[in-house]
A = this chain, B = another copy of it.
Amino acid sequence: MAATQIALDKGKSSAREAVLEAAVRLFAQQGFAKTSLKAIAQEVDIRTPSLLYHFPSKQVLETAAIESLNNSWKNILPQILSEAKNPDERFDRTLEVCIAFFQEEPTRAKLFLRALLDKPDELKEIIKRDLQPWLKLISKYIQRGQEEEIIHQDLNPEAYTMSVVILVLSTFALGQVRSAFIDSSNAETLAKDELIRFARTALFRPTKMENNHG
């Protein structure tokens, strides 16, 4: 969103931001192909050509919508990873932030998942550029944990991290459907708690307390 930032920094166009916000929402809900520029324009109460004044083509708008998500991450994650004092805290805080990010606005998860399905090649590049470094960083922390023997030895750090990312993403993207499976009033809390337990148990080796419980 470098180009976007420049445009926005010039000040003026709040309409542009409104369009982008509506685009993210509608793209996430309905998908890229099903969402017409007219529908997005209507949400902001302008006409289609006016929308195209801000984003010269639908393709540009789609890319902008995807990239706008990534920006939210750029500052948060590295800070958390470096601030945490021990592996346990690092795991908790990181997963917490990831979950909160998608939970507070599930459209984020939906949009990202849709983009992964619709434009895998385009997303590959974005991921390599924006997310790959953090994956490597997390992998290093995991490797250190393995050397300290607090993390399972038979674990591929990158594959594990990817599994967790995919799981978090999909869990919140498919939140609507969850109620079909779990007929409980607090299905969301259940799913979230299980998600954390799932990731934690698969990562850390059991302590004696956990093991001798039964």
Interface of A toward B, CB cutoff 8 Å: 30-31, 33-34, 110, 113-114, 116-118, 120, 123-125, 127-128, 131-132, 135, 149, 152-156, 158-160, 162-163, 166-167, 169-171, 173-174, 176-182, 184, 190-191, 193-195, 197-199, 201-202, 205-206, 208, 210-211, 213-214
Contacts and interface: CB of A to CB of B under 8 A. Distances in A.
Contact of A201 (B152, B162, B193): B152
Given A33-B34, A166-B170, A211 B213 contact: no
A177 B34 contact: no
A12 to B, nearest CB: 34
A171 B162 CA distance: 9
A157 to B, nearest CB: 9
Contacts of A166: 167, 170-171, 174
A197 B127 contact: no
A116 B177 contact: yes
A180 B163 CA distance: 14
Please tell me how many copies of the chain the complex holds. 2
A214 B178 CA distance: 39
Contacts of A197: 152, 154-155, 202
Contact of A167 (B154, B170, B182): B170
Nearest to A195: B163
Contacts of A125: 180
From A31, A132, A135, name the one whose CB has the most chain B CB atoms within 10 angstroms.
Answer: A31
B127 A117 contact: no
